[in-house]
Structure 1
Amino acid sequence: MRIALFDENVDDLNLLQSLLLSLASQEHELATFDSGLDLLKAIGAEEERFDIYFLAVEGKQLSGIEAAEAIRESNLEALIIFLSEDMEKMASVFKFQTFDYLLKPVLFETLKETVERARRYFNTIHPYFEFSFKKRNFLLSMNDISYIGKSGRIAYIHTENEIYKSYLTMSEIMNKLNPDLFIRIHGSYVVNLNYVTKVVNGEVFVRTKSETGISEAAISISRTFKEDLKSKYAFFVNQRRVKSIK
């Protein structure tokens, strides 16, 4: 998740950043702002969209409430979490569809619980697959992933437009993926059922895109996963038919 932190109080800002970096999960991309002008520039830049904003209510140059107004003009999906030393100001922030309101000084356990709730929220509304490679963090929509294949220590994450790499183990990959959408068909492969075009003679054909257009990748089915694939794919196809009839 891409997270923006805004607080004109540099000490409070550094503390919040330190707490977030101390969380068990290191899959968050953080950007800090102690200047209201810099924050407004980031809010107005399409390529700088954030999933979560932590906004200090109090500010001389720009208040968190003013920042929230700017955010909601172009982004209705981002989660806004306010920070304040004053509980009585909470009533003034609800009009921004506020996700949480944290009192300063922010406690680690409180922050951790809030971030975990935010993660669960995003995975419910827009399932994401988070991973890192060579100190870079990535966040992909699960709907964009056609299949994942392991070769040695590297996992190759295939989307229609790009192939990403990660050092995740297959067990870690399966724990992150939506089990209703993805199924393991081989010791080294997991496929997105939405991209499966057919299952023939011990192979799964997955829709892919290349420079020459739409094509199919053929992936062998391991005997270990054959029966699970057969039942799950049949159920998936049947559910898709029902939805199309409705």
Structure 2
Amino acid sequence: MTLKVAICDDDNTVSSQIEQVLQSYSKINFEIDVYYTPEKLMHALAYETYDFYILDIVFPTSSGLEIATTIRTINQTVPIIFLTTYSAYMEQVFKVNTFDYLLKPVLASDLTATLDRLTHYLQLSDATFQFQFNKIVYRIPLRRICYFEKCRRTVFIHLANGEEFETILTTKSLLEKLSADFVQIHHSYIINVTYIQKMSQKSMLLTSHKQQINLPMSRKFNSIAKEQILIRLRETI
């Protein structure tokens, strides 16, 4: 399995060092994009999605905190790792739900330890959804799935980056394949709670890849769905 990571640091030496540690990490493969200015990464966020981010804090024209704030409007749970030479920023970075905070110069052992915790957090060993369609077997990380849409026996799989797949499954079989992050809100919809932006009495508003998706919540599932969602959100805080 491969994780996609964005590095944003205007110091070429630091970026190269981080790349080397990622490339030598033995437990998982990484697809790495490097940005040397916040503006370039902010522009890329309109069409790219990442499994986690490694950000410097101080830039001449902007800050990593501003990037993180923008990322949080798109995805509230994606891990963000900050790099800085100043410990004074520690209080600020944790306001944007930071996964970790590493002081420069970054030691390879410290970054490796963070990557160990990161892979455990993402539960890479079993957090995938495997299905078959047209005799082809697919395996997709559950964290990348925004919601499932059921139409008779056909299941449409809507990914956070806008991609769509489909397969044939009963609702019971589908639910058995999913983690506690997924909750059924309607006979046609099962959502990933990590993409919820707003709950109302009759619908759920999801945010995915800078798009908002409003899905109906039926009376049948209203109470139990909200209870399951609140329990799950408390567990992740």
Question: If the TM-score is normalised by the length of the shorter chain, which range does it land in?
Answer: 0.5 to 0.7
Cα-to-partner distance string for 1:145-188 (whole Å, 9 max, x where unaligned):
14xxxxxxxxxxxx4478369xxxxxxxxxxxxxxxxxxxxxxx
Matched residue, 2:70: 70
Matched residue, 1:28: 30
SS at 1:44 equivalent: coil
Show structure 1 runs of 4+ deviating over 3 A: 159-165
Amino acid at match of 1:31: D
The one of 35, 41, 44 aligned to 2:43: 41
Matched residue, 1:7: 9
Q: TM-score, normalised by structure 1?
A: 0.53
Distance 1:164 1:68, change over 3 A: same
Output the CA distance in 1 between the equivalents of 2:134 and 2:100. 36
Cα-to-partner distance string for 1:81-133 (whole Å, 9 max, x where unaligned):
1100111211111110010000111111111111111111111xxx566xxxx
Q: TM-score, normalised by structure 2?
A: 0.55
SS at 1:28 equivalent: strand
Output the CA distance in 1 between the equivalents of 2:134 and 2:76. 27
Matched residue, 1:152: none
Matched residue, 2:52: 52
Distance 1:50 1:214, change over 3 A: closer
Amino acid at match of 1:25: K
Output the CA distance in 1 between the equivalents of 2:74 and 2:30. 22
Q: How does 1:98-117 map to 2 (within 5 A)?
A: 98-117=98-117
Output the CA distance in 2 between the equivalents of 1:87 and 1:105. 12
Matched residue, 2:61: 61
Output the CA distance in 1 between the equivalents of 2:168 and 2:64. 47
SS at 1:53 equivalent: strand
Output the CA distance in 2 between the equivalents of 1:59 and 1:29. 24
> Are the counterparts in 2 of residues 8 and 34 from structure 1 also a CA contact under 8 Å?
yes
Cα-to-partner distance string for 1:219-238 (whole Å, 9 max, x where unaligned):
xxxxxxxxxxxxxxxxx8xx
| Root-mean-square deviation over aligned CA pairs | 3.6
Cα displacement (A) at 1:44: 2.2
Amino acid at match of 1:163: I
> Are the counterparts in 1 of residues 21 and 108 from structure 2 also a CA contact under 8 Å?
yes
Matched residue, 1:172: none
Distance 1:92 1:164, change over 3 A: same
Output the CA distance in 2 between the equivalents of 1:162 and 1:63. 48
Amino acid at match of 1:142: T
> Are the counterparts in 2 of residues 69 and 96 from structure 1 also a CA contact under 8 Å?
yes
Identify unmatched segments of 5+ residues in structure 1: 130-140, 147-158, 166-206, 216-235, 237-245
Aligned length: 152
SS at 1:101 equivalent: strand
Distance 1:112 1:34, change over 3 A: same
1:118 aligns with 2:118: yes
SS at 1:16 equivalent: helix
Matched residue, 1:179: none
Matched residue, 2:136: 163
SS at 1:65 equivalent: helix
Distance 1:162 1:66, change over 3 A: farther
Output the CA distance in 1 between the equivalents of 2:135 and 2:16. 35
Cα displacement (A) at 1:214: 4.0
> Are the counterparts in 2 of residues 160 and 208 from structure 1 also a CA contact under 8 Å?
no
Cα-to-partner distance string for 1:14-70 (whole Å, 9 max, x where unaligned):
11111211211351111111022210011222xx11111101011113311111111
The one of 9, 19, 22 aligned to 2:21: 19
State, as a whole percentage, how many aligned pairs show the same letter. 30
Identify unmatched segments of 5+ residues in structure 2: 139-153, 157-166, 170-175, 177-223, 225-237
